[in-house]
Amino acid sequence: MAGAGLPVAVTPRGAGWAQARAAAARYRHVVCHGRLADWAAADGPSPCELLGADWPRYRSAREPDVRARLMGSRLLLRGVVAAVAGTEPERVRLGRDGNGRPVVLAPPGLDAGLSHTAGVLVAGAAAGRRIGVDVEAASRCLLAPGLAGRFCHPRELAGLRQLPPGERNLALVRRWTLKEAYTKALGVGLAHDFTRLCPRPEQDGDGWTLGSGAPGWRLRCDEVDGGFLVARALGPWAPASPPYAGPPHSSQ
């Protein structure tokens, strides 16, 4: 995908954030990933202050893992949004829409996405366009009988049969992750009929497109340390994007 960088590994103690801010300044978006254990244990504001609309969900959650994931993912997302907006994390306010999709309440003109699996968090933010992200273990088994037919386009199934058997599962996981990122960006998730989506590799890059059915959308899927695939979907540019402030000057 032209105009996109690799996902950046970041920690609450500052590692990776200079690279994230540089990517945000260059591409007007950035995707970061981190370990849930690190972010759940990080210092930050109170749950009520950080979570906003998710505070009742946190308060009623009985499972410690749910609370840890809510806090850790929002702390990471707050930092990612700040990197794109050119501000401090404390100035970022997050919410969610009626479908549970994260919403950036402040600063204006930004979009955000979140995903998690097996102790890994992924967050993305973009200025002036929609963004969705997804993360899956590359080893996730999707070759169960009949499963591919439930989410693959007929052209994808035909292409899958042409691959060596040892490459088919990874190809399926990659396509699943790309579709998840796109439908999360739309705010519909699994309610979308995945069999109608057929990501196609770009001829002159390492990204993917969805053809005439989704003009202006660009997708990308990268493998990160630990054997996980991280996908992003970026929508068309908004007609009038707000002024872009650039990366923040202070360290995080």
Q: Can you give the pLDDT at residue 247? A: 41
Strand arrangement of the beta sheet that strand 110-117 belongs to: 8-9, 29-35, 120-127, 110-117
What average pLDDT is seen over the chain? 91
d(CA 200, CA 217): 12
Lowest mean pLDDT among 81-85, 100-104, 236-240: 236-240
d(CA 90, CA 68): 20
Provide the residue type at 5 as one letter. G
d(CA 152, CA 155): 8
For 201-233, what is each residue's pLDDT tens digit?
Answer: 998 778 999 988 899 999 999 999 889 999 999
Q: Can you give the pLDDT at residue 244? A: 44
pLDDT band of 188, cuts 50, 70, 90:
confident
204-210 CB contacts, 8 Å cutoff, 24+ apart = 204/2, 205/1, 205/2, 206/1, 207/1, 207/2, 207/4, 208/1, 208/178, 210/182
User: Domains of the chain by range and CATH?
Assistant: 8-234 (3.90.470.20)
Contact 156, 211 (CB under 8 A): no
pLDDT band of 191, cuts 50, 70, 90:
confident
Give the angle 75-116-77 at the CA atoms, nearest 5°.
25
Q: Can you give the pLDDT at residue 184? A: 95
Indicate if the pLDDT at residue 151 is higher than 60.
Answer: yes
Indicate if the pLDDT at residue 252 is higher than 50.
Answer: no
Closest alpha carbon to 106 in 96, 124, 92: 92
Size of the chain in residues = 252
Contact 227, 138 (CB under 8 A): yes
For 155-182, what is each residue's pLDDT tens digit?
Answer: 999 999 999 999 999 999 999 999 999 9
